[in-house]
Structure 1
Amino acid sequence: MTRPTPAPKPSAPTGTSAAHVPLRWVGPLRISGNVAVTETEVPLATYESPLWPSVNRGAQISRTVDAGIRTTLVDERMTRSVLVEADTAETAYAAARAVHDRLDELRAITRATSRFAELLAVRHEITGPLLFLRFEFSTGDASGHNMATLAADALLGHLLAQVPGIRYGSISANYCTDKKATAINGILGRGKNVTAEILIPEAVVAARLHTTAARIARLNVHKNLVGTLLAGGIRSANAHYANMLLAFYLATGQDAANIVEGSQGITLAEDRDGDLYFSCTLPNLIVGTVGNGKGLDFVQENLTALGCREDRPVGDNARRLAVLAAATVLCGELSLLAAQTNPGELMKAHTRLERLTGARDAR
């Protein structure tokens, strides 16, 4: 009996992601820095409808400052850790020294696995007879998960054949660390390390944010720093980086689970004679403009509109995407903290905006 050919699935409707998550463009944001100088809208896919106007308020403020949001890309690397086992800690330590003595040949092996992978460094940790090796790679315009794993697999096989006294433990050893909140990622970084900062004049703080620099700086210390410390946060002190990152990741075809380490970041706020200095530092921004998830039509359209599909040197499109993500985080973080300095403002905004969205969606 011939099975009927299933009907093709309809494409995602305009204005939604492939998973039918509502998507809107907000902005434009004005940014400058060592990667990009631009004004551009950004796409955010989210069910949390107040996020769009919140980020948009931060974007409006960015346009009141000549330099806008200054973004600085500090570092970039993708990591993969492997585990090898020995019989004693002494043997594991000897193996670790042998690995570091072979860096040139390990770099050659890495290049053979991909046109874009480069081995930047190797770090190790020894616990009893267990040797953890953390390989750090540059991966071009890809976020680099698969590229790093492919290279690590080749490196591991080579080391098991060449270094005496060790045997296979695992291709992934949780010392990377992938999609988990850890101290090592906050300290050493995984993905793009970006700081976004802005200096907002006192008059703009009063008119657009309805607060003062002193009140925002005070709240940031009490809420983001002390509150997070009391909660046991790991290398993190912010209000809601995950909200902006998830919406940005879904709209641009990123691996959404990377918001776990991506949302580890630190917000700083200072009162500078009435003006507000505000910054967001994100050491674990894992984004790419090629690779898995980037072939979807709506993702390609969004990346093109963001200027992240241009003919640039390898890696520059992904760097641009990373600084746009960091600037978007700053916009939403700034708006939320400002709202929380005023009693009742946050809940009133949520109630009003969610009711408006709900009524519109029900029609």
Structure 2
Amino acid sequence: MNDSDTIVTEIPTRWVGPLRVSGDAITTEAPHSEIAVPLATYETPLWPSVGRGASISREIPGGIRTVVIGERMTRSVLFVAEGAVGADAAARAVQQRLPELQEVVSAGSRHAQLLEAHPEVVGNLLFVRFAFLTGDASGHNMVTNASDALMQRILSWGLGIDYGSISGNFCSDKKATAVNGILGRGRNVVAEILLPHEVVERRLRTTARRVADLSVRKNLVGSTIAGAIRSANAHYANMLLAFYLATGQDAANIVEGSQGITYAEEREDGLYFSCTLPHLIVGTVGNGKHLAHVNANLERLGCRDEREPGANARRLAALMAATVLCGELSLLAAQTNPGELMAAHLLMERKETPSA
């Protein structure tokens, strides 16, 4: 394949907002920032839906508050031993010699840092889930390269184990699993907002009680009977895919990125509404970010500024979480009112689609 084989696929993209956002990752001297976000999607009703949440955020003094709780990228490697005794002994050696492994990673990369190694023994198989810091990159290739070096070092110790695979699926990459939420993978972000009752009733045409009840009945109970894995939300994937495509992310990462929990409470002073996204796999450097339109979008988002390693990616993740909250709030509010969701879709799609 050469450059002449490459074609451009057009995806409608619109800047939505601005959103009013605050939080440590949104580095600003003011109490909040107002930032428009790019959404690339064929589901064009998503733009006004997220836009409604964005405009509501501008009525709240602090807007949407975001907090980046943690960050890491993982790769799990697989070794094969003669039996479980040998696999367990090798697992203990890996944990005891972690500082040596950390030196291996630091010597081979300017940005990668080994945080931990989590071993699991299954029969004669030894899985080791390595967790790394990767700066502003999402880090897929960086951690694979580091894990290659780590496997070579571990095999050189003469522990009686053999190479199994550079990726053992315990990572877990682009699959809906529980381990990512438990041990962490990507940026872990929470976005939250407190809406006065008057705003809920005037802008969303509903009440805090109805939104909170629906969040429990639909997102928590409905997702549970569906067999969801550490996930209880209405449509995180919609906002994430649109944001991923506009900013050069690996779109397949919405498989784990869209696992998250929406939580709502009726309080005396209004509706507390939050979206927790524990594994957003995003970056501001790396493959796809060199494209002219992607680079321009990242610059406009303020994610190309000179900051400490990782700060631009954390800012991007926080903006994504805030955008998810806008779309999630708007959709759930619409679903508290019979007929509103379908009526809105029909109206918006007819406006966007030319008649035959």
Give the letter aligned to residue 28 of structure 1: P
- Report what 2:29 is aligned to: none
2:268, 2:167 → 1: CA distance?
50
2:158, 2:240 → 1: CA distance?
42
- Report what 2:268 is aligned to: 273
Alignment of 1:323 with 2:318, yes or no, is: yes
2:324, 2:89 → 1: CA distance?
44
2:154, 2:6 → 1: CA distance?
47
Post-superposition offset of 1:274? 5.6
2:35, 2:84 → 1: CA distance?
54
Alignment of 1:67 with 2:62, yes or no, is: yes
2:158, 2:252 → 1: CA distance?
35
Give the letter aligned to residue 136 of structure 2: D
Give the letter aligned to residue 82 of structure 1: V
Alignment of 1:45 with 2:40, yes or no, is: yes
2:213, 2:263 → 1: CA distance?
10
1:139 pairs, out of 118, 134, 139, with: 134
1:213, 1:29 → 2: CA distance?
21
Q: 1:6 to 1:60 in 2, by over 3 A?
A: closer
1:24 pairs, out of 7, 14, 27, with: 14
2:129, 2:9 → 1: CA distance?
35
1:33 pairs, out of 23, 32, 35, with: 23
Whether the 8 Å contact between 1:98 and 1:163 is mirrored in structure 2 is no
- Structural mapping, 1:256-335, within 5 Å: 256-273=251-268, 275-335=270-330
With normalisation by structure 1, the TM-score equals 0.94
1:57, 1:129 → 2: CA distance?
55
Structure 1: stretches of 5+ with no match in the other structure: 11-17
Post-superposition offset of 1:96? 0.4
Structure 2: stretches of 5+ with no match in the other structure: 27-31
Post-superposition offset of 1:78? 0.1
How well do the aligned residues superpose, as a CA RMSD in angstroms? 1.5
Q: Post-superposition, which runs of at least 4 consecutive aligned residues in structure 1 deviate over 4 A?
A: 5-10
Post-superposition offset of 1:147? 0.3
Whether the 8 Å contact between 1:212 and 1:274 is mirrored in structure 2 is no
Q: Percent identity of the aligned residues?
A: 65
Secondary structure at 1:133 match in 2: strand
1:47, 1:8 → 2: CA distance?
24
Give the letter aligned to residue 207 of structure 1: R
Give the letter aligned to residue 265 of structure 2: E
Whether the 8 Å contact between 1:213 and 1:274 is mirrored in structure 2 is no
Q: 1:30 to 1:160 in 2, by over 3 A?
A: same
- Structural mapping, 1:110-129, within 5 Å: 110-129=105-124
With normalisation by structure 2, the TM-score equals 0.96
Post-superposition offset of 1:104? 1.0
Q: Which stretch of structure 1 is more off in the superposition, 159-168 or 208-217?
A: 159-168
Alignment of 1:207 with 2:197, yes or no, is: no
Cα deviation code 1:295-345 (max 9, x no counterpart): 000000000000000011111110100000000000000000000000000
1:90, 1:274 → 2: CA distance?
59
2:102 pairs, out of 93, 101, 107, with: 107
2:9, 2:192 → 1: CA distance?
33
1:56, 1:178 → 2: CA distance?
31
Give the letter aligned to residue 25 of structure 1: W
- Report what 1:219 is aligned to: 214
1:81, 1:44 → 2: CA distance?
32
1:176 pairs, out of 167, 171, 191, with: 171
Post-superposition offset of 1:161? 1.2
Cα deviation code 1:239-278 (max 9, x no counterpart): 0000000000000000000000000000001000261000
Alignment of 1:240 with 2:235, yes or no, is: yes
Post-superposition offset of 1:163? 3.9
Post-superposition offset of 1:7? 7.8
Cα deviation code 1:59-78 (max 9, x no counterpart): 00110111100000000000
